[in-house]
Amino acid sequence: MSLKALEIKIRSTRNLQKITASMKMVASSKMRGVETRLKNARPFFASVQNIYPQTQGEFDEGNNLFPINTEGDHDDYHIQTITSDAGLCGGVNTIACKHTRFGLAALDEAGKTYSLSVVGDRGRSQIGRLYPSYVTNTYDECYKAPFNFANAAAIAGSILDADASKTHLVYNKFQSAVAYETNWFEMENLTKEGALDSKVEGEDGLFENYEFEPENKGEALENLKEFATAAAVFGCVTENSCSEISSKVQAMDNASKNAGEMVDKLQLKYNRARQASITTELIEIISGASALEG
């Protein structure tokens, strides 16, 4: 490689390092805001988690399985995958889409019917390309403004319209500034027949020991289903948004370090090539002078 080509490559790599460093600063400045919104959103999500106990967890990374339960009398499912609109954030979107595919494969194998909805442009491009006929709704540009409960209620409409027996939300749960985990959250349709019955023999149903006001239990359950669905979407999307920003900080930091290391290697290569060029020119001058003297 010529000196001119090396010089151009060093300059372009330094410019790239400046861009990634700037993107890291932007993501870091957003981090505090999304963490605050996540802290405020978790009580809403916790209220839904109390309604649906033991229906959430981490994926089995060792076997790459979506722990979706296809047993029982549930024939229709709805899967909502939550991703981001932007890239350059590590494997946040890829791993969520990957586990969604494992879940759909399990449903296909069990002969179940299902529908899909996707939050985020990155998930739409991946899931929509593989399962275009099953995707009922996609939601883009959800993160331009801070995500709020009104946005979650609008997105929850696709889940309510599906009216499936079970709904699974696939999202990334924020752990810390350097860690997140891909989780799933399962919701049963509270207004479906048999949804409130106990799954364990000898135990009461989900709301067996509660009294409803007004006495119209069906209306109360319908309202509860709408609120629980919106609160679950609100919690999962906020968790995913915080995971995205934290992952972007780490990705841009690594990219900046890699660019710096590349600049150092290219600079060393450039210096060696330049020194060799200077040495060659000196040898030619000295050889020419010696020839003239002789």
The answer to whether residue 290 is domain-embedded is no
User: Per-residue pLDDT for 199 more than 70?
Assistant: no
Calculated CA dihedral for residues 238, 243, 245, 251, nearest 10 degrees: -170
Provide CB contacts within 8 A for 207, sequence distance 6+: 196, 221
Domain region containing 125: 41-248
> 207-236: per-residue pLDDT in tens?
666 676 666 667 777 888 888 899 999 999
Residue 84 counted as domain residue: yes
Q: Is the peptide bond before 132 cis (omega within 30 degrees of 0)?
A: no
Query: For residue range 130-170, what is the model confidence (pLDDT) as tens digits?
Result: 888 888 888 888 888 888 888 899 899 888 888 888 888 99
Q: Domain for residue 76, yes or no? A: yes
Instruction: Tell me if 264 is assigned to some domain.
Output: no
pLDDT for residue 69 = 67
Q: Taking the alpha carbons of 41, 47, 51, 55 in that order, is the dihedral positive or negative? A: positive
Which alpha helices (H) appear in the chain, and where do they start and end? 3-51, 92-110, 121-130, 149-162, 217-293
Is 134 within a domain? yes
Residue 17 lies in a domain: no
Question: Which region holds residue 125: left if phi is over 0, alpha if psi is between -120 and 50, else beta?
Answer: alpha
Q: Is residue 144 part of a domain?
A: yes
Q: Are 93 and 247 in contact (CB under 8 A)?
A: no
Q: Is the pLDDT of residue 195 over 60?
A: no
Give the pair of three-digit tokens for residue 8: 């151009």
* 105 CA to centre of own chain: 20
CATH number, domain containing residue 82: 3.40.1380.10
pLDDT tens per residue, range 34-80? 888 888 888 888 888 877 755 555 555 544 456 676 666 667 889 99
Indicate the number of domains in the chain.
1
- Where does 111-208 have alpha helices with state H? 121-130, 149-162
Residue with tokens 């709904």: 167
Of 274, 263, 267, 265, give the one whose Cα is nearest residue 2.
Answer: 274
pTM of the entire predicted model: 0.80
With the CA atoms of 127, 69, 244 and 101 taken in that order, what torsion angle do they form, in degrees rounded to the nearest 10?
A: -20
Residue 128: CA count within 13 A, CB half-sphere: 15
- Beta-bridged to residue 116, according to DSSP, are 79, 135
Please say whether the beta carbons of 159 and 78 come within 8 A: yes
Instruction: Examine residue 235 and state whether it is found in any structural domain, yes or no.
Output: yes
